Amino acid sequence: MSLDRNPEEFYKKLKTQLEETSSWPAPYLYKFIVPANAEKEAQIEGLFDHLGAVIKKNVSRTGKYTSVSINVRLDNPDVVIEKYKEVGKIEGVISL
C-alpha cells in the first residue's frame, strides 16, 4: 500500500473501491509486514481485540520479519480505513 504521495487521496479511493465491490458488513483481509518484534506484533493484535479476528503469523526465512494476516468481519469501509490508520502509527510496519 503506497501512501507516499497523498494518504488521504489513497484512503478516499480505497473507500470508493470497497463500497463498490462489497456488501457490508463484510470480511476483510489485512496483510502487514513487521520487523521481528513481539511488542509490535502484540500492538497490531491489540488493535483487533474483541473483533473476532483470525490472525495468522509467519516468520521470514531469515527471521528478520513477520508477516501478519488478519481476517476480520467489519461493518463498513470507514472501519477498514480506521484500522489501517491505527496500524500505520506503529513504527516500521508495512501495510500490503
pLDDT digits (tens, 9 = 90+) for 32-90: 999 999 999 999 999 999 999 999 999 999 999 999 999 999 999 999 999 999 999 99
Residue 32 class from Cβ within 10 Å (0-12 exposed, 13-18 middle, 19+ buried)? buried
Helix (H, G, I), strand (E, B) or coil at 69: strand
Q: Which amino acid would we find at residue 32? A: F
Q: What is the largest CA-CA distance in the chain?
A: 40
pTM: 0.88
pLDDT on residue 73: 97
